[in-house]
Structure 1
């Protein structure tokens, strides 16, 4: 029988708080989503001044990263490299800003961020994960 690590609510809160702190430190109005390893939402926060669509995009970035077991940037790189077929892949967004959460080599969830430049979204997501 296999055993798997799962994110607890206290860990999810730590991720959200650290990501929020990174965004606020830089003056970035973003949405932050945390999902489990199946891409199911665990938390979502949209900071003041962030466009409503960013909440949807952040969640999709996180879901893509969790299900794909990689950063969503990898899919963006594929599309930009000419593999436009990825634009029609179901349950996939090819936008940077989704980062998997790994524990002992296992993906246990992901963080997705949207609202600023792609690399800044990823920076905020990674800051959240470092809190673990």
Structure 2
């Protein structure tokens, strides 16, 4: 399965809906299976720095095939990926980046930035939940 523009827009809209529900302006980036940006949404009054961060979170989830918050845990001193952020550009070690998979195969990713880490994760998870319910169920 490929994430089309239509699917990416629907995922991003679910993220926007959740961000509006919690009243936090966000920036949402959706990448495809090639690691390239498909959809970018900037809500009014979102922090400008979140433009790059949302894309970096989506890239992190894509490039490492794992959630950015999980990478954060694995990159602490003494852990096996400690220092990864010093050798790889655009790697983010905190929550808001989620890979999208179908039957274990990476098909894209979500990156969300603009609120606290917990808020970013909540919004990204809303997009992930929509994708999983709509496109991965049998």
**Given the alignment of the two structures, is residue 85 of structure 1 paired with residue 91 of structure 2, yes or no?**
no
Contact 2:3 2:33 in 1 (8 A): no
**Given the alignment of the two structures, is residue 68 of structure 1 paired with residue 67 of structure 2, yes or no?**
no
- Mapping of 1:29-40 within 5 angstroms? 29-40=25-36
Contact 2:96 2:120 in 1 (8 A): yes
Contact 1:31 1:114 in 2 (8 A): yes
Offset of 1:105 from its aligned partner? 1.6
Q: Secondary structure at the match of 1:131?
A: helix
Stretches of 4+ moved more than 3 A in 1?
A: 79-84
Task: Write the deviation string for residues 14-59 of structure 1: whole angstroms up to 9, x where unpaired.
Answer: 1011000000000011100001123210111111111111011000
Contact 1:23 1:29 in 2 (8 A): yes
Moved more, 58-67 or 93-102: 93-102
Aligned match of 2:118: 119
- Mapping of 1:1-132 within 5 angstroms? 5-83=1-79, 84-91=82-89, 92-132=91-131
Unaligned ranges ≥5, structure 2: 132-138
Task: Write the deviation string for residues 79-111 of structure 1: whole angstroms up to 9, x where unpaired.
Answer: 345554122131422121100111122110000
CA RMSD of aligned residues (A): 1.4
Contact 2:67 2:98 in 1 (8 A): yes
Q: Give the Cα–Cα distance (whole angstroms) in 1 for the partners of residues 77 and 86 of structure 2.
A: 15
Offset of 1:130 from its aligned partner? 1.9
* TM-score normalised to structure 1 length: 0.89
Moved more, 77-86 or 32-41: 77-86
